[in-house]
Structure 1
């Protein structure tokens, strides 16, 4: 046993830190050691339970119903609000789209209307469920959705309209009341993606109307493993009424086994994340979350103001909660800036150019990061200077031009191997598979000049090669 645990610790040593506030994407750290310990103990206690059949493990059912009740209260759900605990924000979004589609079986080619800043999970849902996507550009100055343009994009095939609270890339809140009003006028469902903001906005004094307090909002998604600071694997999808949720469920009895009955895309559904979420939410409580929200949001707004004052940086949009993005001027690029921050112990996420907007650098701030505010400012300031001294990564014009003309559908595995090697993502030589270079700026700069479909194809090829078993001994 000790050998196995030692190996686990050795492998974990290569991961980014999940605690301490220096990983500014993917993980959320409350900084509360007791809450973390309670979550870990609950995970261990309920790791063998299965929420597939809520009559077999009534404890898991109670945890889920309690969490839904808490979320419905927090998000102004009226009496009769129902919900489901899912594995994460993407699954909550998948189910919102699937439920909207299946509620309108008379529509041959259902569609959903999205602002261009909506999370990519909506495109994934549309791909999975055969729904057409209508993308509407946002206001180029504020990055908020345009309600009038979204209303104009709706037609008889529209089964769902989406708003973000806030949007991931820029951290701004869409005008939910106007979007929901337009959707309700045509009897179209309106989903608010509050996966990031849903457990933090209600605890702020300046919280705008974004949830069920808005007439016309029919569903809201909120992640517990973000700003409820619970262990990974817990989100909630709320529906205003049970009738709206009914089309989310799946049942199948026409086979010789048990009648399959699912509330989510999963059948087997571990009770561990649900129990851990329940335990952490109970432990922290409303007053605790109010303090954590104030800590994280104050630090975010302060950091954004500081970043905007650093020579060479511009904040893309004023943060509504705990997310913001910055751009560099012509003396540097965000990809080199990300590398410089990584060298100083801070992980931040580059965002590539999109619809005429230049690339940016994304920051997600959690409560634990606030305690290291001065360290982060010092690292950011030094990283900007270093990035400016290095200068922007240059992609050869002929390479950029070639990338624009490549059709991913015409490329075979050999071509992708060559492109990955060119991008610096191939092991090369006599090795097999792929590797990550020490500095990602050249890779990101090349991806940045590639059209979105080529980016997708290259990264799929990279993922395919990355997730292959290592060759055994020959």
Structure 2
């Protein structure tokens, strides 16, 4: 495939781009409960204008683009204040939560290379609810992820299980505020005390809640301490492109002081060329997201965010209470924030999701893992406020319909055929044959995903990963 020999007209380009979006979710309608954090047209336009104004400025060299240095310092200072840190707290702007997490793990790894050089395979202890980005960081950075089960009732980290997982190679403990899957805050204070006891790095992953939870606390919610007021917390990740509603990608990684943050920075003088010193993973990076984040934060303002939080809190209570009243559904736990997880012991949740999608909603499937069953996830955003009763009415209807739908043949076959089978030897060809039987072919997905999700849910996690890798490898081929 080649670019056009003659340049396309502006009109033709944007017509084609609009065509590409024909099958995207219609997130502007307020019926999408995941991936999108929509603050409304007015705020979005401010973010876009600031983004494009700084689109060409390059964060590679902050001595040349001093505006970006100022923006980054002010954003990090905001994060430090918001998370109740003192003047010694420092931080940097990143492209998103995954980059913030990668940097925190890298900083911890390099810190302990100095402190405890005898550790050749460093380990970090992760509750089963810790975000997948920590496993990605472990994979990229040569750190071993040690996963421990969470409390089966509250889905919060179990401090005693964390304690039992600590070995002579442990360098880091991770807690969530809140966890993405269930929307609950881990016992950060107890985990940080454990980290102090063993002289370990303690990271609070507040990508989802670091911005919003302080507002919930101000509204009278019993938000447990998770920030820099907790002794022993070393670093915190905080996304702005979620509940601060700034354009993607915008996140912060913050450290208790410069002595810890020093291990994040990468410098290279071993080549013939310009000076390389990076405070994040990327070298060249547009100033657009940084300027947009600064603009949106200051445009909405503290009072505006507090009012948004008030409305979302009311919406979450309405939705959670409504789910508990629907026959066949149950909440996995009462959430601490705007993330709701619920399941059914009677009805296939993947059929419920398909039925909701048919009615114009996007709700997210979550596969079973450890002691958490397959369930439905909702991330409630500002744009979802006002849709609560429509959502619940449709959800009740979809549960009734889903009761009548059978389990997919391939799912039943996989479940029945797993005994005594070594799935670790499955080949990519066999995987693609299996996916084709579920309706996946040539990089396209079927209209209904229940059978595919059912197959994935029936497979052990390592095999799921193998299946997903083969599928994505096939999907991203030449059109």
User: For this structure pair, what is the TM-score category when the shorter chain's length is used for normalisation?
Assistant: over 0.9
Question: Of the candidates 193, 207, 231, which is equivalent to residue 181 of structure 1?
Answer: 193
Correspondence 1:161-200 to 2 at 5 A: 161-200=173-212
TM-score normalised to the size of structure 2? Answer: 0.93
Determine helix, strand or coil for the equivalent of 2:86: coil
* Deviation (angstroms), 1:49: 1.3
> Residue in 1 aligned with 2:425?
410
Post-superposition shift, 1:469? 1.2
Q: Does residue 453 of structure 2 align to residue 453 of structure 1?
A: no
For the structure 1 residues 439 and 448, does the alpha-carbon distance in structure 2 shift closer, same or farther, using more than 3 Å as the test?
A: same
Greater shift in the superposed pair: 194-203 or 453-462: 453-462
TM-fit CA distance, 1:18: 3.1
Provide the rounded CA distance (Å) in 2 between the counterparts of 1:9 and 1:180: 49
CA spacing shift, 1:191–1:169, aligned 2, 3 Å:
same
Name the counterpart of 2:32: 23
The match for 1:139 among 151, 157, 162 is 151
Match of 1:242 in 2: 258
Name 2:50's counterpart in structure 1.
42
Q: 1:343 aligns with which of 329, 348, 358?
A: 358
Aligned partners of 2:407 and 2:451 also within 8 Å: no
Match of 1:61 in 2: 69
- Partners of 2:410 and 2:437 within 8 A in 1: no
Among residues 324, 334, 345, which one is paired with 1:318 in the alignment? 334
1:439 and 2:454 matched: no
Relative to 1, partners in 2 of residues 1:186 and 1:375: Cα closer, same or farther, differing over 3 Å? Answer: same
| d(CA) in 2 for partners of 1:57, 1:152 | 49
Secondary structure of the structure 2 residue equivalent to 1:453: helix
Q: Does structure 1 residue 262 correspond to structure 2 residue 274?
A: no
Aligned residues of 2:331 and 2:341 also touching (Cα < 8 A): yes
Task: Provide structure 2 residue ranges, at least 5 long, that are not aligned to the other structure.
Answer: 1-9
Displacement after TM superposition at 1:301 (Å): 2.0
Equivalent residue runs for 1:393-408 within 5 Å: 393=408, 395=410, 397-403=412-418, 407=422
Corresponding residue of 1:283: 299
Pick closer, same or farther for the CA change 1:443–1:405 going to 2, 3 Å: farther
Query: What is the root-mean-square deviation of aligned Cα atoms in Å?
Result: 1.5
Correspondence for 1:385 among 396, 400, 403: 400
User: How many pairs align?
Assistant: 462
Task: Give the SS at the match of 1:134.
Answer: strand
Shift of 1:405: 5.4
Point out the more displaced range, 207-216 or 150-159.
Answer: 150-159
CA distance in 1, matches of 2:334, 2:411: 34
CA 185–442 in structure 1, closer or farther in 2 if over 3 Å, else same:
same
Alignment of 1:81-100 (within 5 A): 81-100=89-108
Measured in 2, the distance between the counterparts of 1:334 and 1:416 equals: 24
Residue number in structure 1 paired with 2:237: 221
Q: CA deviation at 1:412?
A: 3.5
**Secondary structure of the structure 2 residue equivalent to 1:338:** helix
**Paired residues of 1:25 and 1:364 also in contact (CA < 8 A):** yes
SS at structure 1 position matched to 2:417: helix
Please state how far the C-alpha of 1:260 moved relative to its aligned partner: 1.3
Q: Does 1:299 align with 2:315?
A: yes
1:112 is matched with which residue?
A: 124
Change in 2 beyond 3 A, CA 1:271/1:154: same
Shift of 1:401: 4.1
**Counterpart residue number, 1:231:** 247
**Larger displacement relative to structure 2 (16-25 or 284-293):** 16-25
When normalised by structure 1's length, the TM-score is: 0.94
Contact 2:411–2:458 (CA<8 Å) still a contact in 1? Answer: no
1:364-394 deviations in whole A, cap 9, x for unaligned? 1001101222221222121111112325546
